[in-house]
Amino acid sequence: MTTALNPKEAVGERYSLESMRHAQQMTWKAIDEIARVIAPGMRESEAQLRGKQILSELDMDRIWHPLLIRFGANTLKTFKQRSDGDPVLGENDIFFIDMGVVWQGHEGDAGTTFTTGSDPQMNDCASAARILFDQVERFWRSERVCGVALYDFAAAQAQSMGWKLNLDIKGHRVSDFPHAIYRGGDLGDLAEYPNTGLWILEIQIAHPDRPFGAFHEDLLI
């Protein structure tokens, strides 16, 4: 095993940034393909099943964290929380896809939010999660701050945009599978500058009044 700049960024002997990029690209391809088959009238459980079928068709190595597809009010749920019921996606609704899949022995992890119909606040919420992610990613690139400062910045930006940032979601390590043996902890608790290709930045926001939110995550690279 080799070690990066600090023990929390340790990786395995197989690790390569090129393979991390490949895993990232394949994960986004899978998200796009799954999103195209999700439509109003579908139950959350049906979307999950179809998503797993698509992942199998794309010749993944394996799933390393469960495929999550959340509809409506379930978009407020964190990764560890179960969905409430088995909702049907509406004509004017919101949903997100979150997946962690191994490709070429490396962990892909990405997610984003989609809407159906024309509810302006839902559309704004989905867009805001992506915009906020981009703002935080640019801050990471330009300021080279630690993970704690990164999420402090994210919380302040979300508030200025009129959304509530869920600080129970703070990002995490990835690498060659399995990253869990390296004990990296959460990005939002990291006291050092997070290096490229090793950390997932997660953004989850909630509408200030209505029961829905949005999610966006990707590899810092």
Boundaries of every domain in the chain: 7-219
Q: By the 8 A CB rule, do 67 and 52 touch? A: yes
Q: By the 8 A CB rule, do 126 and 94 touch? A: yes
Q: Provide the pLDDT for residue 4.
A: 45
Its pTM stands at 0.95
The two tokens of residue 165 are 């940032």
Closest CA to 98 of 109, 89, 108: 109
How far apart are alpha carbons 70 and 81 in whole angstroms?
Answer: 11
**Superfamily name and number for 7-219:** Creatinase/methionine aminopeptidase superfamily (3.90.230.10)
Q: Provide the pLDDT for residue 180.
A: 84
Q: By the 8 A CB rule, do 90 and 75 touch? A: no
Q: Provide the pLDDT for residue 113.
A: 98
One pLDDT digit (tens) per residue for the chain, 221 residues: 344 458 899 999 999 999 999 999 999 999 999 999 999 999 999 999 999 999 999 989 999 999 999 999 999 999 889 999 999 999 999 999 999 999 999 999 999 999 999 999 999 999 999 999 999 999 999 999 999 999 999 999 999 999 999 999 999 999 999 988 887 899 999 999 999 999 999 999 999 999 999 999 999 99
How far apart are alpha carbons 151 and 102 in whole angstroms?
Answer: 27
Q: Provide the pLDDT for residue 5.
A: 56
